[in-house]
Amino acid sequence: MLIKQLSIFLENKSGRLNEVSQILGSNGINMSAFSVADTSEFGILRLIVSDPELACKVLRENQFSVSLTDVVCLNCPNEPGALAKTLEILSDNKVSIAYLYAYSMGDSANVVLKPDQMEQCIKVLQANKVDLVKASELYKI
Partner 1 sequence: MIWNEKIECASREDMEAIQSERLCETVKRIYHNVPAYRKKMQEVGLTAYDIHGISDLHKLPFTIKTDLRDNYPYGLFTVPMSEIVRLHASSGTTGKPIVVGYTRKDIQMWAEVVSRSLTMAGVHRNDIVQIAYGYGLFTGGLGLHYGTENLGASVIPISGGNTHKQIQLMEDFGSSVLCCTPSYALNIAEVMREMKVDMKKLKLRVGVFGAEPWSEAMRKDIETKLGIKAIDIYGLSEIVGPGVSCECEHQCGMHINEDHFLPEIINPETLEPMAPGEIGELVFTTITKEGIPLIRYRTRDLTRLIYDKCACGRTLVRMEKCKGRSDDMLIIRGVNVFPSQVESVLLSISEVEPHYLIIVDREGTLDKMSLMVEVQEQFFSDEIKKLEDLRMKIARRLDSVLGISVNVKLVEPKTIERTAGKAKRVIDNRKI
- Contacts with partner 1 by CB under 8 A lie at 5, 7, 9-11, 16, 37, 39, 41-42, 44, 46, 60, 63-67, 69, 98-99, 114
The alpha carbon dihedral of 7, 31, 140, 73 has a sign of positive
Nearer to partner 1, 42 or 103 (CB): 42
Q: What is the closest distance, in whole angstroms, from the C-beta atom of residue 126 to partner 1 in the complex?
A: 24
Q: What is the closest distance, in whole angstroms, from the C-beta atom of residue 107 to partner 1 in the complex?
A: 31
Q: Which of 138, 136, 98 is nearest to 117 (CA)?
A: 98
Nearer to partner 1, 114 or 125 (CB): 114
SS3 10: strand
Radius of gyration of the chain (CA): 16
Q: What is the closest distance, in whole angstroms, from the C-beta atom of residue 16 to partner 1 in the complex?
A: 8
SS3 29: coil
**CA 141 to mean position of chain CA atoms:** 13
Nearer to partner 1, 92 or 116 (CB): 116
